C-alpha cells in the first residue's frame, strides 16, 4: 500500500466517491457491497478513465445503502453513507441493478460477510455476475463450493482474483495450467500478506502486537485480525487454490495452527485489540527458540501430493525462499506434472487496498 491511501484516509471518504454515477453510456452496471479498506479503494478506481464504461447504481455498507443517482455521484459518497442513506435491503439494491439498461450487471462483494457470500450462487443463478474479494464461499464449506460450481456450470461469471494473493495471477495461472492438462502436485508458500508483513519484520526488538497494529493501520489485516492470526484466512486461500486444482477438500481437511491464545478467542474485536499485547510473550519465545538455531519464523501453507493440507508457523533457515520476502509479499510455489524439476513461483505484494481493488476492477472489466 502506498503512503497516500491509509485506511484512515480511505475511511474518511475524502479521497473516494468523485462523480462516479453521473456518466453515460454504461456497458456494465454494478452495485458495491462494502465500503471499507478495499471497497473504498475500489470507489476511487471507479473515478479513473479506465472505468468510464462502468455505472455504479448502488452501494452499501453494513448498515446503510444508497441508490439515488445524485448521492452516488457525491464526492464524499463513502463518508456520507456512514451518516445517511436507506436502511440495508438487498432487494432494493438489486432492483437498482435490474432497472439499469446495461447489458452486464455485476455485484461486487468487498465485505468479509459469510451471509453475503452464501448468496453468491443464488445471485449468479439469477443472471448477475459476481466479483468478490470475500473468500467465505470459495474457501468455506465444501457444500457452498459445490453450489457455486453448479451455478458456474450454467455460464455465470465469478470474478475471484482478489481472493488469493490480493489479485496476484495465481488462480488464473492455475486454471490455465489445468485447462492445458497440467496437474498440480504440490503447493507451498506464504499466502497471507499480513502474516508475511509481521514475520518479515519481527526480530524480537519490537512487540509483535505493535507490528500487528501497523499492519492493521495499513489495511493488510482482515476486519478482525484474528482471522489472519488464527490461520483461518490462509486456510481459506489454500482451499480455494486446492479446489481449483481439483482437490475437493473440506474445511476439516486442513490442519490449521492458530497463533491466537485461547484467552483471546472468545472476545469481540475491540476487546481483542485492547489485549493484543498478550500475543507478545508466546511469539517472543517462539522467535528466540528459532533464533538459537539460526532460523526464522514464517507462516506457511502446504498442500502435498497426497492432498494433505497444513497451514502454520514454521521455523525455516535464512536461505529458505520464504525467508527472503519483503513487506506483504506472498509466494506461491506450484509443482505440477510439467513444472516438476523446479516449481513455478508467483510472488509479490499479497495484501493492501489498491492492489486488491485493482483485482476487483480487472474482474469487472473482463466482463465487458
Ligand X SMILES: NC(=O)C1=CN([C@@H]2O[C@H](COP(=O)(O)OP(=O)(O)OC[C@H]3O[C@@H](n4cnc5c(N)ncnc54)[C@H](OP(=O)(O)O)[C@@H]3O)[C@@H](O)[C@H]2O)C=CC1
Ligand Y SMILES: N[C@@H](CC=O)C(=O)O
Binding-site partner at residue 67 among ligand X, ligand Y, none, CB < 5 to 8 Å by type: none
Residue list 109-168, contact with ligand Y (CB under 6 A): 166
Shortest Å, Cβ 77 to ligand Y = 24
How far is C-alpha 59 from the chain's CA centre?
Answer: 19
User: Containing H/E element for 217?
Assistant: helix 208-217
For ligand Y, give the closer residue by CB, 1 or 97: 1
**In the set 222, 228, 232, 354, which binds ligand X (CB under 6 A)?**
222
Give the C-alpha distances (Å, rounded to integers) separating 201 from 195, 215, 247, 312: 10, 11, 34, 18
Three-state DSSP class for 342? coil
Residue list 53-72, contact with ligand X (CB under 6 A): 60-63
Shortest Å, Cβ 168 to ligand X = 10
Residue list 67-106, contact with ligand X (CB under 6 A): 88
Shortest Å, Cβ 194 to ligand X = 8
For ligand Y, give the closer residue by CB, 80 or 347: 347
**In the set 221, 331, 336, 347, which binds ligand Y (CB under 6 A)?**
221
Residue tagged active-site, from 15, 44, 105, 237: 237
Give the C-alpha distances (Å, rounded to integers) separating 149 from 50, 277, 301: 30, 42, 24
Residue 220 dihedral angles phi and psi, to the nearest 5°: -90, -25
Binding-site partner at residue 192 among ligand Y, ligand X, none, CB < 5 to 8 Å by type: ligand Y
Binding-site partner at residue 228 among ligand X, ligand Y, none, CB < 5 to 8 Å by type: ligand Y
Shortest Å, Cβ 134 to ligand X = 4
Cβ partners under 8 Å of residue 112, min gap 6: 134, 136, 222, 223, 227
Cα R_g (the chain), whole angstroms:
21
For residue 92, say whether it is annotated as part of any ligand binding site: no
Number of neighbours of residue 326 by Cβ within 10 angstroms:
11
Q: Is 9 a catalytic residue?
A: no
Torsion of CA 144, 146, 150, 152, to 10 degrees: 80
Shortest Å, Cβ 255 to ligand X = 21
6 lines the binding site for ligand X (CB under 6 A): no
**In the set 79, 109, 224, 233, which binds ligand Y (CB under 6 A)?**
233
Three-state secondary structure readout of 298-367 = EEEEEECCCCCEEEEEEEECCCCHHHHCCCCEEEEEEEECCCCCCCEEEEEECCCHHHHHHHHHHHHHCC
For ligand Y, give the closer residue by CB, 132 or 147: 132
Torsion of CA 124, 128, 133, 136, to 10 degrees: -30
Q: Which residues participate in the annotated binding site for NADPH?
A: 111, 135
Residues that are catalytic: 237
Q: Which residues participate in the annotated binding site?
A: 34-39, 111, 135, 222
Residues in contact with ligand X by the rule CB under 6 A: 33-39, 60-63, 88, 110-113, 116, 133-135, 162, 166, 193, 219-220, 222-223, 351-352, 356
Amino acid at each position: 500500500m502506498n503512503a497516500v491511501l491509509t485506511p484512515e484516509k480511505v475511511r474518511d471518504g475524502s479521497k473516494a466517491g468523485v462523480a462516479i454515477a453521473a456518466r453515460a453510456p454504461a456497458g456494465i452496471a454494478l452495485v458495491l457491497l462494502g465500503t471499507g479498506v478495499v471497497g473504498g479503494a475500489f470507489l476511487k478506481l471507479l473515478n479513473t478513465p479506465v472505468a468510464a464504461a462502468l455505472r455504479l447504481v448502488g452501494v452499501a455498507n453494513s448498515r446503510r445503502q444508497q441508490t439515488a443517482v445524485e448521492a452516488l455521484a457525491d464526492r464524499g459518497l463513502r463518508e456520507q453513507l456512514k451518516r445517511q442513506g436507506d436502511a440495508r435491503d438487498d432487494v432494493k439494491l438489486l432492483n437498482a441493478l435490474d432497472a439499469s439498461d446495461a447489458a452486464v450487471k455485476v455485484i461486487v462483494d468487498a465485505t468479509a460477510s459469510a451471509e453475503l457470500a452464501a448468496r453468491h450462487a443464488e445471485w449468479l443463478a439469477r443472471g448477475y455476475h459476481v466479483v468478490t474479494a470475500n473468500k467465505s464461499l470459495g474457501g468455506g464449506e465444501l457444500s457452498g463450493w459445490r453450489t457455486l460450481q453448479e451455478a458456474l456450470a450454467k455460464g455465470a461469471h465469478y470474478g475471484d482474483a482478489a481472493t488469493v494473493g490480493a489479485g496476484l495471477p495465481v488462480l488464473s495461472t492455475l486454471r490455465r495450467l489445468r485447462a492445458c492438462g497440467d496437474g498440480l502436485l504440490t503447493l507451498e508458500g506464504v499466502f497471507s500478506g499480513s502474516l508475511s508483513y509481521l514475520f518479515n519484520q519481527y526480530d524480537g526488538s519490537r512487540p509483535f502486537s505493535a507490528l500487528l497494529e501497523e499492519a492493521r493501520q495499513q489495511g493488510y489485516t482482515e476486519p478482525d485480525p484474528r482471522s489472519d492470526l488464527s490461520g483461518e484466512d490462509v486456510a481459506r486461500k489454500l482451499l480455494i487454490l486446492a479446489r481449483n486444482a481439483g482437490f475437493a477438500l473440506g474445511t476439516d481437511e486442513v490442519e490449521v495452527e492458530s497463533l491466537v491464545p485461547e484467552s483471546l478467542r472468545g472476545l469481540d474485536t475491540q476487546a481483542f485489540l485492547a489485549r493484543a499485547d498478550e500475543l507478545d510473550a508466546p511469539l517472543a519465545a517462539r522467535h528466540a527458540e528459532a533464533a538459537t538455531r539460526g532460523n526464522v519464523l514464517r507462516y506457511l501453507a502446504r498442500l502435498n501430493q497426497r492432498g494433505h493440507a497444513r497451514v502454520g508457523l514454521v521455523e525455516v533457515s535464512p536461505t529458505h525462499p520464504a525467508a527472503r520476502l519483503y513487506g506483504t509479499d506472498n509466494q506461491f510455489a506450484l509443482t505440477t506434472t510439467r513444472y516438476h524439476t523446479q516449481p513455478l513461483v508467483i510472488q509479490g505484494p499479497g495484501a493492501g487496498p489498491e492492489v486488491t481493488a485493482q483485482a476487483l476492477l480487472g474482474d469487472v472489466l473482463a466482463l465487458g
